[in-house]
Chain A
Amino acid sequence: MQSKMKESDPILEVENLSASTDNLPILKGVSITVYPGEIHAIMGRNGCGKSTLSKIIAGHPSYNITNGDIKFLGENINSLEPEERAQSGIFLGFQYPIEIPGVSNLEFLRVSTNARRKFLNKEELDTFDFEELVKEKLEIVKMDHAFLSRSVNQGFSGGEKKRNEILQMALLEPKIAILDETDSGLDIDALRIVASGIKKISNAKTGIILITHYQRLLDEIKPNYVHVMSDGQIIKTGESDLALELEEKGYEWTDNFIKET
C-alpha cells in the first residue's frame, strides 16, 4: 500500500523495529514510512503496542531497541536522546499529559519553544515576544490566556490537557507529530477544536501519526493510511476505509489477519 512512488523523501522510516522493556518484547518487527503531507492512523486493541511505538520513536529511556531502525529525515535516530529528537522536529502528544506542579505553563512553553528555535537557528524569544507568539497560537485551540499562568497541566480537565498538547505542537512546529489517543476523554465540541487545531498546524511538509481507537477523530481528520496493530506488529495496512470497516466489524475481524500472518 505504501509502495507508491513518492516525489519527496520520507520524514520518518520505522524499519522492522523490535523493542522490549524489562526483557519483555513489546514490538516485534514494526515498519511504517511517513512522507510529507501524509496522515497515518494506527489502530488496535489496548496493549497491542501502539503507545509503546510512539514512546520509542520519541526516545523513552525505559525501552530498548532490540532490532531495526528509526530514521528521521534520512538519519538513524536510534541512539538520540528524547530532547535531541524533539529539537529536530519529532513531537509526541501524550495520551495522559503529565502534570508538573510548580512549573509555570508559560515558562515551560517558552523554554520548549526556544529549544526548538535554537535548533532551527532562529532567534530565541524573550518573555514579551513569546507572549505575542503564544497569544496567536492560543487562538488555534481556543484556550484562555489564564491557562498559561497555571502549573503545567495541573488542575486541567482532560480536554484542557489535550488542547494544551496541541498548543505545544503549534508552538514547536514539528516535522512529524505522533498524537497518542488525543481524542480520548474529549466531548464532541472539544474533539472538533482539537481536530481543527491539528489540521491548521499540519501542512504539505509535515507528517502526522494518529493513534486512536475511534472513527470519530478520523471523521474530522481523514487519514491517507490506516494501520492495524496487534501483539506488537502491524497486521494490516489500508486506506481510510479500513478504519470504517474496523469500526463496523470490530477487532475480532482482524484476528483472521493474525492467523494469516
Chain B
Amino acid sequence: MEIIEKIKTNKSSNNLTEIQKICLDKLQASPLPNPKSEQWRLSDKSKFSNFLNYSFKEKNPKFNAPFPHTSQRTIRLVIGDNSQINLVEKNYSIKQLSEYKLVNYIKEQISCFDQNENWSDLLNLSLNCTKNTLGLKINGSEIPPIEIFSHASSNSLNAKTLVIFLEKNCAIDLLQVNLGKENSSLSQSTFFCLEENSSVNHGVVSYGENKSNLLNSLNVIQQNNSEYNLGSLHFKFNYARFEIRIKQSEGKAKTNIKGMQITKKDEQISTFTKIDFNGPNGFLDQINKSLADDKSHAIFEGSIIVPKIAQKTDASQLSRNLLLSNFAQIDTKPQLEIIADDVKCKHGATISQLNEEELFYMRTRGITLTEASKLQLSSYIQEIISFIPVSKDRWDLLDKLLNEN
C-alpha cells in the first residue's frame, strides 16, 4: 500500500486526473504485482522495492542530452519539457494529441489491462500527470527522424508517458532514449498505434548510471498491413524491466523485433514480450539476446499467442544468450500458445559462452585475448545495433558506453 500512499500524499485527491483515479482504484485492489505470477516470479524483490523507494517527483530538472543535436533534420523532443508540438509542413504534420483523444485512448487501453501483466503501466499512469505525458499524432510522408528522450533525475522516481498515433500510409524512424541518473527510478510507458499501411523503425535505447532503475513498458497496436520494426538495447541499470506487448489487431501485419540486454556487476535486466495475433496472415520475426557478466542476472520471457482466428500466422522467436562469467545467470523462456491449425511457428533458445575456438583463432593472428573478446562481443551486439535507427555519430557514444567497465 506504500506506493498508493506515496501517490496520494504527493497530491490531494482532488488534483488527481481521471486516469490517475482509475489506475489508483485498480492498484488499491492489488498494490504490488503478485511475486508468484509468471511475469514477476524472477524479479529481484529487494531491487524492485528499491525502485519504489525513491520519492516521486513531477518536476523535471534541466535536461542535458548525452549527444548533441547535430542533424538539422532530426526532430528532438523531451517528455515533460512543456513545449507544445505543432509541426505542419508541406508533406507531413506532427501535432500534439488533444486531451480528449489522449484520455479516451488511454482509458480504452486500461479497460484491457491485466493487474499483473500491466502493473508497470498502472503504476506509471497513477503517478503521472498530464505534464509528463507526450501525445503525438503523426501523418504524411518524408517525415524527418524523431528522437524522444525520457529521463529520471537523481534521488527520485519519475514517470513519463508517451502516446503516438501513426496515421495511415505514414512511415517514420523513431529513436526513444530512456536515461536514468544515479540513484533514480524511471517509469516509462509507451502506447503506439499504427494505422493501416503505416510503418515504423522504432529504436529503444535505455541506459542508466550507478544504481538507476527502470520500468519500461511498450504497448503497440498494429492495424492491417502495418509494419513495426523494433530494435532495443538496455544496459547499465541496477534493475530494469522492459515489457513489450504487441497486438496485431486484425492480423495481416508485420513485426520484426531485435532486442538486447547487457548486464554486469549485480544488475538484473529482464525483457518480457507478448505478441498477440488477432487475425490471419500475421508475421513475426523476433530475436532477443542477453549478455550477462560478473554476478548479474538477465531474463527473457516471450510469448506468442495464436488464437483460432489467426490462421496462416508465420512467427519465429529466438532467444540467444551469452554468459561471460561463471557467476552470471540467464533465465530464458520463449513460448508459443497456438490454437490455430494452419500456422508456421517456431521458437528456440541457446545459452553459450564465448566461443573458445574463435578466440584461439584470433589469438593465433596476434590479437590479444581482450581484443579478441571485444571483437567477438561487438559482432554479437552488431546484429541488434544495426537494427536500431540511429545515426553514426550517436553510436560513437554508445560504443564508448558499451565498452566501459
Identify the A interface with B (CB < 8 A): 58-62, 81-83, 85-87, 91-92, 94, 97-98, 100-103, 108, 111-112, 115-116, 119, 151, 168, 172
Contacts and interface: CB of A to CB of B under 8 A. Distances in A.
B375 A81 contact: no
A60 B360 CA distance: 7
Interface size class of chain B, counting residues whose CB lies under 8 Å from the partner chain = 20 to 34
A87 B371 CA distance: 14
B62 interface: no
Given A81-B369, A98-B357, A100-B358, A86 B379 contact: no
Nearest to A171: B365
Contacts of B367: 83, 108, 111-112, 115
Interface string B361-382: 1111111110110011011101
B366 A103 contact: no
Q: Which of B361, B369, B383 has the most CB of A within 10 A?
A: B361
A83 B366 CA distance: 4
Contacts of A82: 360, 363-364
Contacts of A62: 356
Nearest to A112: B365
Which 10 pairs of residues, A with B, have the shortest CB-CB distance? Answer: A102-B379, A115-B366, A112-B365, A82-B363, A98-B361, A86-B366, A87-B366, A83-B363, A103-B379, A102-B382
Contacts, number: 72
19 contacts: A58-B364, A59-B363, A61-B356, A81-B363, A82-B360, A83-B364, A83-B369, A83-B372, A86-B364, A87-B366, A98-B357, A98-B358, A100-B376, A102-B380, A102-B383, A103-B375, A111-B375, A112-B367, A172-B365
Contacts of A59: 363-364
Interface in B238-260: none
A137 B367 CA distance: 20
Interface of B is mostly: helix
Contacts of A111: 365, 367, 371, 375
A112 B361 CA distance: 11
Given A87-B366, A116-B366, A119-B366, A94 B379 contact: no
Nearest to A103: B379
Contacts of B357: 98
Contacts of B365: 86, 108, 111-112, 115, 168, 172
Given A86-B365, A102-B379, A103-B375, 15 more contacts: A58-B364, A60-B360, A81-B368, A82-B360, A83-B364, A85-B364, A97-B361, A100-B361, A100-B375, A100-B376, A101-B379, A108-B375, A111-B365, A112-B367, A168-B365
Contacts of A119: 366
Interface string B270-287: 000000000000000000
B371 A61 contact: no
Contacts of A97: 361
Given A100-B379, A111-B371, A172 B363 contact: no
A108 B363 contact: no
Contacts of A101: 379
